[in-house]
Amino acid sequence: MEAATVTTASFLLGLAAAIGVGALVGIEREHRRDRTTVVAGIRTFPLIAIAGYLTALLAVEFDSELVMAAGVVAAAAFTIGFFYVRYLSGSLGLTTPMAVSVTFLAGALIGVDLLLEGIVVAVAATFLLLTKDRLHQLAETLTQDEVMGALQFVALAFVAFPIATEFEGPYLRGLVGDGRPIDLQWTLLIVVAASGLAFLSFLAMRQLGGRRGMAASGALGGLVNSEAATASVATIAQNTTGLQRAAATAVVAAAGTSLIRNLVLAGFADPSLAMVEPFAIVLAAPVVVTIVGVAWLASGAEESQPPDDIGLRSPFAIKPALTFALVFTAVNAAAFFLQQGAGDLGVYATSIGAVVSSGAVVASAANLVYTGTVSPTVGLITATLATIIGFLAKIGVVAFANRGLVRDVTPSLVLGALATVGGLLFVI
């Protein structure tokens, strides 16, 4: 550690920040306080944060790792002792003892001049503590198979990532390799991000969908997998009397939220935002159209009680992630080779992949822009074509699952496709 000169102003600022982060956690613990047990609260946690702050400050001031090590050991001993006292009183939870350790470390971060980081850690810890009941409810909504699928997916991702780092390329005439159209590390990160976004939406759908109605289930389902959500609600309406209009509302809602999902995926795949910014303008009109369509359909929806679950499976598993990865990789590879033979028209042709997954095609187009394989304009047109195909494909899905629903969903979906065309013409 490098010695540093601490001014009075910086010391007081850090001290105030340490007290603040400690108080933040302490207030939450005080709120949950059980008067029959010993629990640290509004006074104890600020003192713990101050201890961490002073320990780190002294370690930096005297350029001594031993001071910091001694402080960490003391904090660990206090945490263990605190847990033991709680254990003797019949409280077996680990949450508060762990909160003690995190608060000490948050104070230490402030002591080494990482003020923002310390505050972020404290806010994150408080958020987790506050959402205890909600997090338990979310965990209980998952089946054993869904939990196992998530564990398998995470395990596979951890195994695959170090393997992907070995492919430095370029391979296959420049297709595969670092910074190439198929960068295996980057592809894996995009797949994980897409699956993570879908999983969060899936949890929200499980928690809120049944209580908020079929339209809410469709909207959240569109963030998970709009094609699957469309098929699910259409089938439910086919087998349940009095849900046609509500199902149509859900289909259009799924189409609308899938646009937001695709924009987020494009932003992740293209950090430069060269394609994302104009794509956001293109999507503005169809988003408005779907909102109007949902409002119109909902106004005439039946009073029948919709089911609590529209039947979507968890996206945080190997099969849906593999499907996304295969479409994403296939579109990248096809665009790379078709561009060499047919120019930009070949790249546009890859948008047909939106029949399977519009999100994968949009992410692929953004990735091609980011790697410099295609221009932002070509990527934008490809993503827009995929969006249009996604709208029209949903009509086909509905026709296959529930022909009687086609008349209700077609106007909004066709107008959404036309609005997308209009948005593209406006931008280019």
**Of residues 330 and 164, more confidently modeled:** 330
Do residues 283 and 359 both lie within one domain?
Answer: yes
Other CB atoms within a 10 A radius of the CB of residue 340 amount to 10
Contact 374, 407 (CB under 8 A): no
Do residues 106 and 176 both lie within one domain?
Answer: no
Residue 186 lies in a domain: yes
Residue 274 lies in a domain: yes
Residue 1 lies in a domain: no
Residue 3 lies in a domain: no
Residue 302 pLDDT greater than 70, yes or no: no
Residue 156's identity, in one-letter code, is L
**Of residues 326 and 70, more confidently modeled:** 70
Domain boundary (72, 107, 130) is at: 130
Domain boundary (97, 130, 163) is at: 130
**Of residues 280 and 235, more confidently modeled:** 280
- Among 326, 193, 205, smallest CA distance to 270 is for 193
The confidence score (pLDDT) of residue 5 equals 63
Q: Phi and psi at residue 426, in whole multiples of 5°?
A: -65, -40
3-state secondary structure of 7: coil
Do residues 105 and 159 both lie within one domain?
Answer: no
The confidence score (pLDDT) of residue 104 equals 92
Instruction: Give the start-end residues of each E strand in 188-230.
Output: none
**Of residues 236 and 368, more confidently modeled:** 368
- How far is it, in rounded angstroms, from Cα 379 to Cα 344? 9
Sequence-distant (≥ 6) Cβ neighbours of residue 171 within 8 angstroms: 177
Query: Out of 75-84, 167-176, 233-242, which region has the weakest mean confidence (pLDDT)?
Result: 167-176
The confidence score (pLDDT) of residue 205 equals 64
Residue 211 pLDDT greater than 50, yes or no: no
Domain boundary (95, 130, 165) is at: 130
Per cent of the chain over pLDDT 70 is 77
Q: Which two tokens stand for residue 278?
A: 């104009």
DSSP, residue by residue, 18-59: HHHHHHHHHHHHHHT--TTS----TTHHHHHHHHHHHHHHHH
Contact 156, 188 (CB under 8 A): no
If one counts the domains in the chain, the total is 2
The confidence score (pLDDT) of residue 97 equals 82
Residue 259 pLDDT greater than 90, yes or no: yes
Do residues 120 and 154 both lie within one domain?
Answer: no
Candidate ranges 15-29, 217-231, 317-331; pick with highest mean pLDDT:
15-29
Region 103-114: mean pLDDT is 91
Contact 228, 344 (CB under 8 A): no
Do residues 167 and 96 both lie within one domain?
Answer: no
Per cent of the chain over pLDDT 90 is 31
- Look up residue 312 and give its DSSP letter: P
The confidence score (pLDDT) of residue 98 equals 86
Do residues 198 and 304 both lie within one domain?
Answer: yes
**Of residues 303 and 337, more confidently modeled:** 337
Please give the mean pLDDT across all residues of the chain.
Answer: 81
Q: Give the pLDDT band of residue 310 (cuts 50, 70, 90).
A: low
The confidence score (pLDDT) of residue 277 equals 93
**Of residues 127 and 236, more confidently modeled:** 127
The confidence score (pLDDT) of residue 179 equals 55
**Angle between helix 184-204 and helix 144-164 axes, rounded to 10 deg:** 160
Residue 361 lies in a domain: yes
The confidence score (pLDDT) of residue 314 equals 63
Other CB atoms within a 10 A radius of the CB of residue 336 amount to 24
Beta bridge partners of 176: 171, 182
Do residues 195 and 95 both lie within one domain?
Answer: no
Do residues 58 and 165 both lie within one domain?
Answer: no
CA 200, distance to chain mean position in Å, is 6
The confidence score (pLDDT) of residue 164 equals 66
The confidence score (pLDDT) of residue 39 equals 59
Contact 232, 239 (CB under 8 A): no
Other CB atoms within a 10 A radius of the CB of residue 87 amount to 12
Residue 13's identity, in one-letter code, is L
pTM exceeds 0.75 for this model: no
| Residue-range definition of the domain harbouring residue 160 | 137-427
Query: Out of 143-147, 265-269, 284-288, 384-388, which region has the weakest mean confidence (pLDDT)?
Result: 143-147
Do residues 92 and 223 both lie within one domain?
Answer: no
Do residues 86 and 156 both lie within one domain?
Answer: no
Do residues 90 and 198 both lie within one domain?
Answer: no
Residue 274 pLDDT greater than 90, yes or no: yes
Residue 386 lies in a domain: yes
- How far is it, in rounded angstroms, from Cα 28 to Cα 30? 5
- How far is it, in rounded angstroms, from Cα 267 to Cα 171? 26
Region 232-246: mean pLDDT is 76
- How far is it, in rounded angstroms, from Cα 310 to Cα 295? 20
Do residues 272 and 320 both lie within one domain?
Answer: yes
**Of residues 179 and 222, more confidently modeled:** 222
The confidence score (pLDDT) of residue 290 equals 96
Residue 275 lies in a domain: yes
For the segment 18-76, what is each residue's pLDDT rounded down to a tens digit?
A: 999 999 888 887 776 654 454 567 888 999 999 999 999 998 888 888 888 888 898 88
Task: Look at the block and give the residue holding tokens 């958020």.
Answer: 127
Other CB atoms within a 10 A radius of the CB of residue 239 amount to 9
Q: Which two tokens stand for residue 348?
A: 């546009």
Query: Out of 19-28, 185-194, 325-334, 391-400, which region has the weakest mean confidence (pLDDT)?
Result: 185-194
Q: Which two tokens stand for residue 287?
A: 């988003």
